[in-house]
Chain A
Amino acid sequence: MPSPHVLDATDLAAERDGRCLFSALSLQVASGDVLRVEGANGAGKTTLLRILAGLDQDYTGDIAWPAAAAAARPWREDVLFLGHLAGVKGSLTAAENLAWLTALRGRPGNGSVRDALQRIGLAGYEDVPVSSLSAGQKRRVALARLFLERAPVWILDEPFTAIDRQGVAALEAALAAHARAGGCVIVTTHHALAIPARSLSLAGAERAA
């Protein structure tokens, strides 16, 4: 019996440099959801995503992972986080980068590195050092992890940055397919998302008194 929610955050509040980014924010993400976090620049989208991913501990409120807790496994196993920084090393090749990033998850990947690179449109770039790729290609190397790693929850911060139009369409299809397969996606983007998504709007910066 799967738990109703994958992620259950209640009463989150965060403040940066005296500005209240959000408060009393509650959100639930269930299997099959695509949640789009919206807001102006500086509204706290990245902060929210980093808090959910456990990278930022400067907040109040509770974050629970009922599905992972029910299966008695660490929630980090369930989460694939892709931030502004791609996390790929310039002097390693695309294949080496993906190999070590997958090994960090502690469980075998989903298919081969070659397949993942092919699906993201980088076939033939396996053995090219990432430093000699373009910004968009670098981003794609990081995004290839979406096809490679078996994590039900994707937390993606501006995943479409520097990606061309066909690439964006392919990625949107991948997000939708992931949601249909029972995964869930939390995403921030300034692109118009062509797939059905719930949206969560961060009202933006209010000056704290």
Chain B
Amino acid sequence: MSAFAAVLRRDLALAWRSRADLVNPLGFFVLVVSLFPLGMSPDPALLARIGPGLVWVAALLAVLLSLENLFRGDREDGALEQVMMSPAPLPLLVLARVLAHVLSTGLPLAVTTPLLALMLHVEGDAFLALVAGITLGVPVLCLVGAIGAALTTGLPRGGVLVALIVLPLYVPVLVFGAGAAHAAGLGLPFAGQLAILGALLALSFALAPFAIAGALRISVSQ
């Protein structure tokens, strides 16, 4: 457990020291969402209808953007080898790494979502469903995305490949996440979609660390 805490603490310290890199996904998220009303129409009814989907797509792409360097730095300076040499189980240590990523990259996205939702006139139940959905969904995106990042860590440039690997796995999250907010906007029950997002979170929390660990072993072995 102390190894878990050590990795978590180190990664949060590293994230804090390169704050400029943290701003990138968040800036992308805010920019994309705020450009849409300018590019399309400031009509509140239209924005309220497309708002949730827009926020979801932007959040998904922002997470995707942040993934490429998840394990790259650690591989290039040899820290990843040292993590693997630890007697602690590797899935536990990579979970700490991804958790740090969720806290440093995913949490700012979730915290900004209510502001962007209000800006897009997403109100009432749709607002609740959107904020709850993003909060549940972004950790899933990070965990699943980390599998792709781990698989491509050994390659010189994995950016597009990561997207190709993880986008199919992102689709259910997007469908149920945006679906919850959409249903709420129409006055329909949306607890079911949120429950499925919660189930996806539990599933990826339980299984993704093993997939990430396996993928990293292959990447380091080369």
Contact = CB atoms under 8 A, between A and B. Distances in A.
Interface of A: 53-58, 73-74, 76-77, 79-81, 83-92, 96, 99-101, 103-106
Given A55-B84, A86-B78, A87-B77, A104 B13 contact: no
B85 A91 contact: no
Given A83-B78, A86-B77, A87-B77, A105 B86 contact: yes
Contacts of B88: 104, 106
Given A90-B77, A104-B82, A76 B221 contact: no
A103 B87 CA distance: 11
Given A100-B7, A104-B7, 14 more contacts: A54-B84, A55-B84, A76-B85, A79-B85, A87-B81, A88-B78, A89-B10, A89-B77, A90-B77, A96-B10, A100-B9, A104-B86, A106-B2, A106-B87
26 contacts: A54-B84, A55-B81, A57-B217, A73-B87, A74-B87, A76-B87, A85-B76, A85-B78, A86-B77, A86-B78, A87-B77, A87-B78, A87-B82, A88-B79, A89-B79, A90-B77, A92-B14, A96-B13, A100-B6, A104-B3, A104-B83, A104-B86, A104-B88, A104-B93, A106-B3, A106-B86
Interface in B194-222: 217, 220-221
A81 B85 contact: yes
A18 to B, nearest CB: 16
B87 A55 contact: no
B41 interface: no
A87 B82 CA distance: 7
Interface string B1-36: 011011101100110011000000000000000000
Interface of B: 2-3, 5-7, 9-10, 13-14, 17-18, 73, 76-79, 81-88, 93, 217, 220-221
